[in-house]
Structure 1
């Protein structure tokens, strides 16, 4: 979004201090500041106003502020938009940006796979349309406004990831984003402490489908009963995807030694062979979701198949690397819940290796069933001939080890051996991978 500061005074109910200038990007992290940026200081555990000076010194063009330049200790040259509340102003700014768009917003949610679907979808849509998408997992009340604000003015397809940590969260994000297309991946046991049970998760995720206009499209996973049932909540036409059922399906699925899946994509728009660029058979379903949106947008099935064969995803998700010792290491450390953990263990079990080790961190926010769910993962691992090393948690019912010991186990693996590193975000196990792979 390129816009003069003066044009923002009315929608943000703001007062411009200093000369007018054009901003091109909105940021909330002063460390990222560069010319053309509008820095938005949010007030949470730390008060972002304390970093306005640093952002401007680093080159930011202007900053929102609830305080005057004098109060902030800034000079007369400081360029500020004075507002009553910076958090509310960020939402107003996102609404202003959304109103300027003529392209479609595609919302993506689900307990598992939403970031991967977002990445794959953006990669496919970008072959034919001016496309923008949420960075990394920018899917909350801060990330979604930033995604809207930072989309290019000529965007034709904006893919917005939407997360929920409670009922009403996705509905609030939809009020900002006004999606025309909504995709729901899976309803699974993530954040059960907050939702209570799977039915509660389904209610929250389905808020995206309820927000769609009648001329939009609801894209639903036909293999997941909770997701498929959301069709009844949609005023928009429904397009389904799935491996076992759906309008957009996968047949003849095969998995290579590199864990990359191949399949025959079948749809009402025709069929084509796909060879994914990313590892893990479970990503076939994610690819089908992305394909369904792209086909609905008018992209040919041949172009979709070709793009899926080149599309990549965000870091620390089923990254297959080789350790200095020659072992194959699956870095899936970004996050974990029982569904994604089970899929990752299955992927490790499919690798041709004489020894397989899973280095696992905690699966957080699972509620009352947390112990049983962790133990289930150990049982699955053992059934696949996988050794389990638990890092920083005794939830798996086995002795936990410190990160240094886990790193030693991984470093000891050699050619013909394989490992998985996975845990919830709080475990931060990507650092472990960095130690081992980076030496």
Structure 2
């Protein structure tokens, strides 16, 4: 974080300053900000955020032991540390992020890119950050830090030397992206797709469209919206951009895309394609598994080239990326039994993309095995969409379909109804039961996809299988 005096920090937070031992109002702090006391470093700022399970105020002493200089609290606690008492810790975190990013932007050449979409945000964020980090200091979220706490924590990592801030914006409900993007008013917004992920929380697909379009509405006048021309709902955001005085840059697989991919070839060691951007072409070998990640790469290239990075440099840097993020199409196991652990998130679109990838990368003499759990936050669409996954798995010819958990049972029932029999489709209530089955069932040449929403917990089963067959 940039350096601030304790007085200035308190003013930004609209808080009440209580000095700790030997502290003075003019003392400066510039350490990292965090809500997790275990991650606090010497000189850091600990935000004691109340939570559903525990209360951050309980961990102020732990933060002191790790060297925290300041605690942002909602009530004074008996600890020997400077404390700033605020009305709401999460609101204070947002206020601090707004002030810090605004100060850096006003003083230098900071460019801010926001990314949203029903799927692919984290992968695209990581790909774009990899391109930009060779251009100058780049700040991007750890993991999926994209909510009301994670996004500001990322923003607060900027310094006077930061050239690029890449922010990932998730949406817990209507207005969430508007609030987060409104903290920094991005210069560029990337919208990947509008799908059914979290549709239950938005009242359907049109509600999701409105939520994702909040990023375009939050862009600075004169900024750029990088939009997926292949997704009609994303393409429909162009008029919103124009109303805001924002230009549009299109990416996609179709001829209308300014940044597009042709000659796509999917293999077990990644995806190859020819990328066209700005009248130039380059051959890309994207080692992140899955044809669907080509679109994420195109989005990153579209944003980076708009920021002035040459296409050849974009391609060269992307080819160094082997894994988008842990638990996202993560190869585990061995050549004998390959495990693909993609169980951090799941939506109808990402589930279909992962199943198609499994079918595409499995060669002659190898067997496809799909280990599937539930997709969360689908609301009224849950039954229908779980049925569709079971149907798709059968139509793709997946040879073993292992469904885990009551919330996903309809996948199994649909697979059986569509003709998957003789133990081709099996159901287990728990991942322990499924693990015991798989340890006896898997054989040399199997290619195994583990896919579910985070809440189903199958990512740990994927890790377990990967360890067993490493």
Shorter-chain TM-score: what band? over 0.9
Q: What's 1:66 paired with? A: 74
8 Å contact 2:33–2:40 — kept in the other structure? no
Q: What's 1:82 paired with? A: 85
8 Å contact 1:328–1:415 — kept in the other structure? no
TM-score, length of structure 1 as denominator length: 0.95
> Does the residue aligned with 1:206 lie in a helix, a strand or coil?
helix
Q: How does 1:235-250 map to 2 (within 5 A)?
A: 235=244, 236-244=246-254, 245-250=256-261
Among candidates 422, 430, 435, match of residue 451 of structure 2: 422
How far apart are 1:16 and its partner, in Å? 4.3
Q: What's 1:48 paired with? A: 56
**Unaligned 5+ residue runs, structure 2?**
414-426
> Does the residue aligned with 2:287 lie in a helix, a strand or coil?
strand
Distance 2:277 2:2 in 1: 39
For residues 136-193 of structure 1, give each alpha carbon's deviation from its aligned partner in whole angstroms, at most 9, with x where no partner exists. 1111111111111112331111110001122111111121121110000010011121
**Unaligned 5+ residue runs, structure 1?**
none
8 Å contact 1:189–1:198 — kept in the other structure? yes
TM-score, length of structure 2 as denominator length: 0.89
Among candidates 10, 16, 19, match of residue 17 of structure 1: 19
8 Å contact 1:21–1:61 — kept in the other structure? no
Distance 2:313 2:66 in 1: 42
8 Å contact 1:116–1:314 — kept in the other structure? yes
For residues 364-388 of structure 1, give each alpha carbon's deviation from its aligned partner in whole angstroms, at most 9, with x where no partner exists. 1112221121111111111222121
- Would you say 1:406 and 2:434 are equivalent positions? yes
Distance 2:266 2:466 in 1: 25
8 Å contact 1:362–1:395 — kept in the other structure? no
Distance 1:55 1:231 in 2: 46
How far apart are 1:437 and its partner, in Å? 2.2
> Does the residue aligned with 1:44 lie in a helix, a strand or coil?
coil
Distance 2:205 2:84 in 1: 44
Distance 1:4 1:339 in 2: 45
CA 1:341/1:290 → structure 2, altered by over 3 Å: closer, same or farther? same
How far apart are 1:13 and its partner, in Å? 2.6
Of 310-319 and 158-167, the range deviating more from structure 2: 310-319
Q: What's 1:322 paired with? A: 333
How far apart are 1:415 and its partner, in Å? 2.3
How far apart are 1:213 and its partner, in Å? 2.0
8 Å contact 1:269–1:300 — kept in the other structure? no
> Does the residue aligned with 2:148 lie in a helix, a strand or coil?
coil
Q: How does 1:161-172 map to 2 (within 5 A)?
A: 161-172=168-179
Q: What's 1:362 paired with? A: 374
Distance 1:78 1:159 in 2: 32
Q: What's 2:2 paired with? A: 2
How far apart are 1:397 and its partner, in Å? 4.1
Q: What's 2:100 paired with? A: 97
Among candidates 319, 324, 328, match of residue 313 of structure 1: 324
Q: What's 1:433 paired with? A: 462
> Does the residue aligned with 2:299 lie in a helix, a strand or coil?
helix
Q: What's 2:422 paired with? A: none
8 Å contact 2:327–2:341 — kept in the other structure? yes
- Would you say 1:390 and 2:403 are equivalent positions? yes
8 Å contact 1:269–1:295 — kept in the other structure? no
Distance 2:214 2:139 in 1: 23
Q: What's 2:418 paired with? A: none
Q: How does 1:151-230 map to 2 (within 5 A)?
A: 151-230=158-237
- Would you say 1:231 and 2:238 are equivalent positions? yes
How far apart are 1:118 and its partner, in Å? 0.6
> Does the residue aligned with 2:286 lie in a helix, a strand or coil?
strand
